[in-house]
Amino acid sequence: MGDLYGKDGWLCPHCGERVEIFPRSQEARNALDELPLLGRIPLDPKAVVSGDKGQPMVVSMPESLVAQAFTAMTERIVAIVETKQAAETQAEQREERLKGEQADDERED
């Protein structure tokens, strides 16, 4: 369906600055270029604390960068699934029409 970058940088708990801690590999990027990017989720120490309390960041801190990243990713996934479902429905409808036309042609013969 797509690619998700977890651990996409670290958010400083003091100033909120995003720091890249894992180098980006061009080889890995090339292997994943065919997949759409679903999201980039930064590391945030607050997410650990929130998770340990059983409260997802999207609930406990909806304005945080982590929550915003998860929300945006979810919206992308929903759009992809809806698009695929619509395409499948259209394909099924075309197939049913073709079957009906073939049956009509056979009756006429």
pLDDT the model gives residue 81? 93
Specify the pLDDT at position 99.
Answer: 84
Q: How many domains does the chain have?
A: 1
CA–CA separation, 87 vs 61, rounded Å? 36
Q: What is the pLDDT along the chain (109 residues), one digit of tens a residue?
A: 666 666 667 788 888 888 777 666 676 666 667 777 788 888 888 888 998 999 999 999 999 999 999 999 999 999 999 999 999 999 999 999 888 888 777 777 6
**What's the whole-model pTM score?**
0.61
Which residues, other chains included, contact 42 with Cβ-Cβ below 8 Å and sequence gap of 6+? 7, 8, 9, 10, 11, 18, 65, 66, 69
- Domain extent, residue 15, equals 3-108
Residue 8 host element (H or E) = none
